[in-house]
Every structure is written in structure tokens, then in C-alpha cells.
Amino acid sequence: MQRGFIALFSLLISLAVFSCASEEKETSISIYRDFSQKNNGVFFSVPPGIASILLDDEQKGTEELRQMLSNVNSLSFLIINNSSDSKESLLFADIDTKLHNINFVDLAMVNNGKEIVKIMVQQDGDKVNEMVVLVSNYNAFFCVSFKGTLDIAKIANLAQPENLAAISNLDKFNR
């Protein structure tokens, strides 16, 4: 009887450990990888310092973007070309929903007629840990993830409509 109880107890513990291990918490990175695989896209990271060097100094918003990059320790891109089988408007809505499900909140959105740009942030208490910029235009849908301890004032400066072109210009990493 005692052996049966020990065996049953061991089985229950094993099942509990297995079920906890199989329920991985969804993260922004897992969302980007999943979208990349399902939609024939690319997902990659670039050192923030390299991205800073490649910015167009003539583009409005470049200085604000450089300021933002100074606090970034991980810069990732998800790019899905419109030549793929996916509809960019559906991708935009789908990834937007997935990010909201893991506690991202909307900060700003601009539609200039040529593209839609949306900025979302994920906070931990009073700190912003990640900023995501979703961009949908005629050529592609792309997502840029800025991770680090981000300054909300720098985010607010970058989120000004006149400065968003600098972020949209980051699609040159797709070439």
C-alpha cells in the first residue's frame, strides 16, 4: 500500500512538473519568431550601435532615434514583405492583439496615407522595458523591438509624428 502511494505521488509530481514545463510564457520574441515562420518573413537582431551608425543624418527624427538607441541593449526586427502570401493589414491587427495579450499598451499611432506607424510599450512598474514600433506600408509590414531600460521622455520625443520617419527608414535593413 505504501509503495502504491509513493508511486502515485511520484506520478503526480512528474505530471505537475511536465505540465508546468510545457506551458512556456509567450514573449514578444516568441511572437516575432512565430510570425516570421508562418508568414515567410525574417526575424533578426542588430547591435544598437551598428543601427546608430547607419542612420540617415538628413532624416527628421534621426537625433531622437539615436537618443533612444543609447538606452537600448537589444534591437530586433521582424520584416514581412508584401510579396509574401500575407495581407499586411491582417498581420498588423494580429500582432497588435498578441502584444496586447502580453501587456503591451498603445502609446501613439499615425497614418500618413502612405503607411501606418504604431508605437507600443511594455512596462514593469514605472519602467519601460520594451518599445515596439509596428509599421505597415505598401512594401512590407515590419516590427522593430527596442529592449532595455527605456526613458519615457525619449520615447515621447521619438513618438512625435514628425520624427516617426526615422523609424520608418529602418526598413533599409531589409535590403
In angstroms, the Cα distances linking 101 to 27, 46, 64, 116 are 10, 26, 29, 21
Q: Distance (Å, rounded) from C-alpha 171 to C-alpha 34?
A: 20
pLDDT at site 72: 94
For residue range 113-152, list pLDDT tens digits in order: 888 899 999 998 888 999 999 998 888 888 999 999 999 8
For the chain, what are the domain ranges? 26-174
User: What mean pLDDT is predicted for residues 69-92?
Assistant: 80
Whether residue 74 is predicted with pLDDT greater than 70 in this model: the reply is yes
Alpha-carbon gap, residue 60 to 166, rounded angstroms: 6
Of 87, 95, 76, 99, nearest to 170 by C-alpha is: 76
Distance CA 99, CA 79 (A): 16
